[in-house]
Amino acid sequence: MTGIGIHDIAVATGHHVLELDDLAVQLGVDPAKYHVGIGQDAFSVPAPDEDIVTMGAAAAKQVVDRHGVEGIRTVLFATESGIDQSKAAGVFVHGLLGLPQNVRTVELKQACYGGTAALQLALGIVARNPAERVLVIAADVARYDVDTAAEPTQGAGAVAILVSADPDLIEIEPVAGLFTADVDDFWRPNDRSTALVDGRLSVSAYVDAFIGAWDDLASRGGPAYDTIDRWVHHQPFTKMALKAHRKLTQHVGADFDETELRTGFTYNRQVGNTYTASLWIALAAVLDLDDDLAGKRIGMFSYGSGSVGELVTGVVRPDHQRHRRVGAVRADLDARVRLSVPEYRALHAAGAATSEDTERPRVTAAPFRFSGVLGGARHYEATAAATATTATAAATATTATEAAGTAGE
């Protein structure tokens, strides 16, 4: 059978950004506490008319604009920031994107691990019928109480992944390492909009899951450590990934080289913790920014508190550079509107999901917005940006086709 893996990947984030330098001034702490201590520089903050649906749809739209909808019969939406206890967030995205009705749509949850669970389900679906493609969406808004140690590790973002046979970017290898343990390191009860965290336990649980997943991968005949050329991790904050990877190198008797992980930190240092999307945003950074990936094997560690870990490997396709989205994420990050600390805290205090009837102000410049709640039901709509990005995508596709034709002459 032909290889199966990641055909395309796209990233979206919130309209606003809070620079951690500003938070440091507000709290009277040394900015190095954030830049060095946890390895973060800023975090994205959604506008009042943004949520996991708008960000997930914005990321997915980039994929659909490039590849169309043919063969997409499944949409898997992973999140731990669910907006409804019954209706999947992906159903809203399905409507916003105008996908065919003959599509199954499901929401998945297991803390930050859900995106990887969705990927594995997608691989199985395509293995059963290689003519099908699966749209995987992972989107979250990380919210913690203000004036807590976790406050600077908030964030918001989404990633959309198209899984297919004969993928353009990465072929996912069949053997994976798994680990599950019942740990109370992080959780969010139904009656809370912010999570509860045991920070020290969370770090040790992450490390235990990483080592456990590695041992399982090795026991099942997975690739040797020295055959893995690049690593990307789930990143609640980038320093956690460094700590865990140092422990793994000690465990396997390898040298620890921090530079091997830095490229994968590039976007996450700016968007903050995006839960289910975090690992895959790190992968997007490596694919965008590393020019020496062809044929290289990437190790990808996914962690979800509570806890579940999985270690996946994949081999980058020889012509992956032709299919990258170089500059797209950086442009979105640079376009965010900077918030003062009082402005950010006012947005934070306004809360997240609500069932009360409300009309949301028009703020976001993204293709889709959350317009409000009417009769207890959430409503979304396309913006002027949706039409503009579709036209731009069509022009880009035409240019790429013409360039390919010229190259072949």
Q: What are the sequence ranges of the domains in the chain?
A: 4-408
35 is catalytic: no
Q: What is the chain's alpha carbon radius of gyration, rounded to the nearest angstrom?
A: 20
pLDDT at 389: 57
Q: Residue 80 pairs with which residues in a beta bridge? A: none
pLDDT at 259: 86
Architecture of domain 4-408: 3-Layer(aba) Sandwich (3.40)
Does the reported pTM lie above 0.85? yes
DSSP 177-197: EEEE----SEE--TT-SS-EE
Query: What is the rounded CA–CA span in Å between residue 171 and residue 341?
Result: 43
The token duo for 120 is 């594995």
112 is catalytic: yes
DSSP 188-252: --TT-SS-EE-HHHHHHHHHHHHHHHHHHHHHTT---GGG--EEEE--SSHHHHHHHHHHHHHHH
pLDDT at 260: 84
Query: What is the rounded CA–CA span in Å between residue 23 and residue 203?
Result: 23
| Rounded to 5°, angle at Cα 117 from 256 and 207 | 30
Q: Residue 381 pairs with which residues in a beta bridge? A: 369
80 is catalytic: yes
Query: What is the rounded CA–CA span in Å between residue 83 and residue 353?
Result: 6
68: left (phi over 0), alpha (psi -120 to 50) or beta: left
Determine which one of 50, 80, 151, 171 is catalytic.
80
Determine which one of 7, 15, 94, 112 is catalytic.
112
C-alpha separations of 98 from 111, 158, 161, 358 in Å: 29, 19, 18, 25
Q: Residues in the chain with pLDDT < 50?
A: 392-409
Nearest to 146 by CA among 18, 338, 12, 14: 18
C-alpha separations of 90 from 29, 95, 129, 365 in Å: 41, 9, 22, 21
Determine which one of 15, 94, 233, 234 is catalytic.
234
